[in-house]
Structure 1
Amino acid sequence: MYSIFWLMLLAYSTLVSTEKFTNEGTKSIFILAGQSNMSGRGGVVNGTWDGFVPPECHPNPMIRRLRSDLTWEEAREPLHKDVDVNRTCGIGPGMAFSNWVLQRDLGLGVVGLVPCAVGGTDISRWSRGGRLYNQLLHRARAAMHGGGLIRAILWYQGESDTENLGDAKLYKGRLEKFFADVRSDLKSPMLPVIQVALASGQGSYVDIVRKAQLEIELPNVRCVDAKGLPLEPDGLHLSAAGQVQLGRMLADAFLQIMAPLPVSSSAPKRARNFFSGLFRI
């Protein structure tokens, strides 16, 4: 009986948290997708996360996370702990991004993060109709339930595509198709996408993939370059400090897209007409 009581209490708390998010007015949704460096390996060494959370990644009552069971909770690192379940997750860019964007008071309201990244996945595994692609759409649509706007997709992927020359050469076309398909299926043809040019790779063709990423010229697609950011000892994954820097870079790129909108430090948090209706499902 005691166990049943606590299970009921936990279920009720989850329901209250979800309802609170649904009824909080303006909600800005950001999809976090790609592979391990978006999922977050900052602070992970030899398969163990050190548990250190940089101040820039601390919880904020204005930031929520969509759990694997499609309910909302206050966002805390590691954001992908129940999504990228076959790897040890640590610090990623999502919390640093969100905290920095909210400091600008752009009327975004509550930020809802939708973790979708899975480590070790090449671009072909994100193609339309595949499991990862369908999961992204499912989670994005669930996040929109009860209202809200998808503000952007944050995308960091490509390390796995550096192992094979054929995959590296096909990368640009595959990535452009992925962006087009997601926008089409979410009925958001101008949905902002902020992608990351690789800091590292698993193979010999990093330069080919990076060139493809840096040369993509699609409307409302921005690219930030992670090259030179600090890495973990494995030489593949960004350190916690690197992820904080990347989060800030992603935020700055998003703010450039928002630049036509007035920045206010005291105005009530309201949705702006520029986005109104563009990203509703």
Structure 2
Amino acid sequence: MKPPARRPLLGVLAAAAALSCLLLLAPPPRLFPSSSSSSTRAPTSPYAHRPKLLFLLAGQSNMAGRGAPTSPLPAPYLPHPRLLRLAADRRWVTASPPLHADIDTHKTCGLGPAMPFAHRILLSSSSSSSSPSSLPAPSTVSDPGGEEDRLVLGLVPCAVGGTRIWMWARGQPLYEAAVARARAAVAGGGGALGAVLWFQGESDTIEVDDARAYGGKMERLVADLREDLGSPNLLVIQVGLASGEGNYTDIVRDAQRSINLPNVILVDAMGLPLSDDQLHLSTEAQLRLGEMLAQAYLEFESSRDPKAIESLHQ
């Protein structure tokens, strides 16, 4: 779908998104380090072939992460052996920030909400014997450490800064790339897609027409993702905007609150502290948002009966 030519800055944004899509869509080997420089890449995780509970990370810069790294990093941002990330070249590596460094390549990525989200889910699973039961049975590959019944999380970064929701429509490169990466994540060792974490909309606050169209486009996106990923009950957790690039943030926020689809829930970021640019969430805010997203996911799962949970992960 082609947007009206009158939109300001649209060509720049689209070009940036297209550049990032080269990494999202199984690019040619020459775009990645050669075998002679493979030592500079993160090694493939020993848990790569284990079944995983998967989370698709999509949207724009606040999902990709612009929080400034601190020294030392807060504990929820530290690597964990059972917390993996699908790299741009589709290898499962141990997750460590910035998660989108090889995905959102036209900007410098920082800390986002996904690492604290994942740490909270792992913490919950370690204190509940029922959490891992919703995953498929472990593979026959020997498990490092002998923890064959322990939950393994797989994060699938797909967010690209500065993108509008029309860029995530079915047929657009970002959408097709995200679907392809989600399918690769499920195929890469097996696993179940637990939820889509969606944080986007700041760029749709610039023009009133975009803001007013946001709700319909978001509902279409959810329906298309569920169909293309073969998961009609797929959970989508959207983040309510805390800021916007234009004057129509309230219209987009109203649209987010008005989404009336099953298994779509809203976590509101309004009121979380912003960075000096008054657009991106601060490191403190990203940490808090990750906890909020995890709490929303855990409450949603706890409200489901066993048959519903099994259906979600099929």
Q: Give the TM-score, by structure 1 length.
A: 0.86
Q: Deviation per CA, 1:157-210: give whole Å up to 9, x if none.
A: 000000000000000000110011001110101100000010000000000000
Q: Deviation per CA, 1:237-278: give whole Å up to 9, x if none.
A: 00111000000110011011111469xxxxxxxxx7643354
Secondary structure of 2:237's partner? Answer: strand
Aligned CA distance change for structure 1 residues 169 and 97 (closer, same or farther; 3 Å): same
Q: Deviation per CA, 1:34-63: give whole Å up to 9, x if none.
A: 0000000001xxxxx666632222111110
The yes-or-no answer on 1:88 pairing with 2:108 is: yes
Is there any run of 5+ residues in structure 1 with no aligned partner, and where? 44-48, 263-271
Letter in structure 1 aligned against 2:98: P
The yes-or-no answer on 1:30 pairing with 2:78 is: no
Aligned CA distance change for structure 1 residues 9 and 84 (closer, same or farther; 3 Å): closer
Aligned CA distance change for structure 1 residues 149 and 122 (closer, same or farther; 3 Å): same
Is there any run of 5+ residues in structure 2 with no aligned partner, and where? 1-33, 126-130, 136-150
Provide the residue aligned with 1:120 in structure 2.
162
Aligned mates of 1:88, 1:11 — CA distance in 2: 18
Give the aligned length. Answer: 258
Partner of residue 253 from structure 2, selected from 190, 210, 214: 210
Letter in structure 1 aligned against 2:251: I
Secondary structure of 1:172's partner? Answer: helix
Aligned mates of 1:273, 1:206 — CA distance in 2: 39
Provide the residue aligned with 1:41 in structure 2.
66
Aligned CA distance change for structure 1 residues 134 and 249 (closer, same or farther; 3 Å): same
The yes-or-no answer on 1:74 pairing with 2:94 is: yes
Provide the residue aligned with 2:310 in structure 1.
276
The yes-or-no answer on 1:250 pairing with 2:293 is: yes
Letter in structure 2 aligned against 1:88: T
Residues 166 and 217, structure 2, Cα contact 8 Å, conserved in 1 = yes
Provide the residue aligned with 1:265 in structure 2.
none
Provide the residue aligned with 1:233 in structure 2.
276
Provide the residue aligned with 1:136 in structure 2.
178
Residues 80 and 116, structure 1, Cα contact 8 Å, conserved in 2 = yes
Aligned mates of 1:261, 1:172 — CA distance in 2: 26
Secondary structure of 1:194's partner? Answer: strand
Q: CA deviation at 1:147?
A: 1.0
Secondary structure of 1:137's partner? Answer: helix
Provide the residue aligned with 1:267 in structure 2.
none
Residues 53 and 77, structure 1, Cα contact 8 Å, conserved in 2 = no
Secondary structure of 1:20's partner? Answer: coil
Secondary structure of 2:309's partner? Answer: coil
Aligned mates of 2:172, 2:283 — CA distance in 1: 31
Percent identical among aligned pairs is 48
Partner of residue 57 from structure 1, selected from 52, 58, 77: 77
Residues 123 and 171, structure 1, Cα contact 8 Å, conserved in 2 = yes
Aligned mates of 1:190, 1:199 — CA distance in 2: 27
Letter in structure 2 aligned against 1:257: F
Aligned mates of 1:259, 1:175 — CA distance in 2: 26
Residues 54 and 240, structure 1, Cα contact 8 Å, conserved in 2 = no
Q: Give the TM-score, by structure 2 length.
A: 0.77
Output aligned runs, 1:169-188, within 5 Å: 169-188=212-231
Aligned CA distance change for structure 1 residues 12 and 53 (closer, same or farther; 3 Å): closer
Secondary structure of 1:254's partner? Answer: helix
Aligned CA distance change for structure 1 residues 120 and 51 (closer, same or farther; 3 Å): farther
Residues 168 and 205, structure 1, Cα contact 8 Å, conserved in 2 = yes
Residues 187 and 279, structure 1, Cα contact 8 Å, conserved in 2 = no
